[in-house]
Structures are given as C-alpha cells and as structure tokens.
Amino acid sequence: MRQVGSVIFWLWVVLSSIPLFIIAVVLWAVTAPFDKRRRALHLFTCFWASLYTWTNPIWRVSITGRENIDPDKTYVMVANHLSLLDILVLFRLFRQFKWVSKAEIFKVPAVGWNMSLNRYIPLKRGDKASIKEMMNACDRTIRGGSSIMMFPEGTRSKTGELRDFKAGAFDLARSTDSPIIPMVIHGTHDALPKSGFVLQGRHAISVTVLPEVPVDVVESMSTAELTAYVRTLIADEITREANERAAS
C-alpha cells in the first residue's frame, strides 16, 4: 500500500505542477515590472508547495514560532536537513526568502523553472567557482532586502542525526550584518528518508522557528564560533523536543 500511495502522491505532484507553473508564469509576467523581489510569486510558490502537505492525509504538519520572523527584517535563515520534504514544509512558513538550492533542481521541468523565475540561488556542490558566485548572489539578495534560506549541513542526513555545519551561511551573516533565524525540522526523515521516494506511513512533522540570533551576537563571534553556536542552538532544541515526545 505504501508503494501505491507513493505513486499516487508523486503523480499528483507531477501532474499538478504543469497548470501551477502556467499560473506562476502569468503571475510573474503581471507582477515583475513592479515587484522586483518577486514577493507575490514567492507567496504563490509557498501555496504551490503547501498543497502537497495540505492534501496528503498521512502528514500532520505544525509550525511553531512563526512570529519570531519579523516581516520587516532581512535574515539568514538556517535549518537542519532530513528529507526532500523539508523544502515543502519550510514553504509552509509563508515568509519571504530566497532558497539556496542544488543547481540540478533548477533543471527540473516546471518546479525548477519556477525556482528560476523566483530568483532562487543555484549551487553546484564542491565547485569553488559556483560557491563563490552563490555567496555573491546571496550578498546581493540580502542587500536588496530579501532573506536567504540555507541548509548549513549541505545535504540531507542519512540517519536523521544532525551533521556538521558548513560555514557559508555564517560567513554571509557576518559579512552582511544580518541576524540569523535558526529552525528545527522534525519528522520528515521518518516520513521520507533520504534513500528512496516511498512515503513511510503516518507521521507528525513539525517546524520550530527559534528566536533570532541578533546582529550584535553575530558580530561578536568569529565565523567558526558563530557556526558552532547556532549548531548548538539547533541541537539543543532537537534534544528538548525528543525528550518532550518521550515523556508524553
């Protein structure tokens, strides 16, 4: 049954992406002349992505701490990375940001093309030139008033355990004098592990938005110290939530 349900879900994703991309193109064409940051298109993309968690009865997604994101501020946003589903559930925030994502995803029909329309930022992992261009694009994006969303682990965790953080997001926060918003995702690894596309039954999925790391704290630390500090914030919240679930 899991295989059948998974086929139905992925068919729904593929088939729905065609008309939704057409709507996205029309919205882009209408709003691009006066909406340089693509704010309207991003909100539509949040709706598009959220459809797949809203309409899937085996996922119960909750968002906690959304109020910690001030819509009038620009952030470097970071979250742990457990599953392909992380992208869908973070769109449920319905907050403005630009993704940093693998360059390969931008080539996916409809979904990837929409990412390009949104001016999300591609990255070829392990390519120094691409990393440099990504950092420059992030810098321009933040200075232009849009937040950045990154997974500092760089790739999905195979085990669900928190991996080491790469320094890029924290270099960016320090160089642009930006506050950091740490987030904790839970449940997506169990719902859809890294290896495979078979949905794994009913699971509760949550996103916890932690209070911002303010600019004065960002500026007071070296990149290495800041990287370790934010990783500890996320790790401590993962532990706290695990203990809370075990006790309930």
From CA 124, how far away is CA 130, in angstroms rounded? Answer: 6
- 93: which DSSP letter? T
Among 23, 110, 14, 12, residue whose Cα is nearest residue 54: 12
Count the helix, strand and coil residues of the chain and give each as a percent rounded to the nearest 5: 50, 15, 35
pTM of the model: 0.93
For the beta carbon of residue 125, count every other beta carbon within 10 angstroms.
11
Q: Which domains does the chain have, with CATH numbers?
A: 2-247 (3.40.1130)
Locus of tokens 């596309």? 197
The sign of the CA dihedral 62, 68, 74, 75 is: negative
Q: What is the mean pLDDT of residues 85-102?
A: 95
Q: What percent of the chain has pLDDT over 90?
A: 78
Amino acid 115: pLDDT: 97
Q: What is the mean pLDDT of residues 122-144?
A: 92
Higher pLDDT: 77 or 4? It is: 77
What are the pLDDT digits (tens) for 151-188?
Answer: 999 888 777 789 999 999 999 999 999 999 999 999 99
**Taking 90 as the threshold, does the pLDDT of residue 15 lie above it?**
yes
Q: What is the mean pLDDT of residues 196-215?
A: 88
**Taking 80 as the threshold, does the pLDDT of residue 20 lie above it?**
yes
With both helix axes pointing from N to C terminus, report the angle between 168-176 and 128-143 in degrees, rounded to the nearest 10: 40
Among 163, 96, 171, residue whose Cα is nearest residue 139: 171
Give the length of the chain.
248
At 1, is the pLDDT very low, low, confident or very high (cuts 50, 70, 90)? low
CA angle centred on 245, ends 184 and 189, rounded to 5°: 50
**Taking 90 as the threshold, does the pLDDT of residue 214 lie above it?**
yes
Amino acid 173: pLDDT: 97
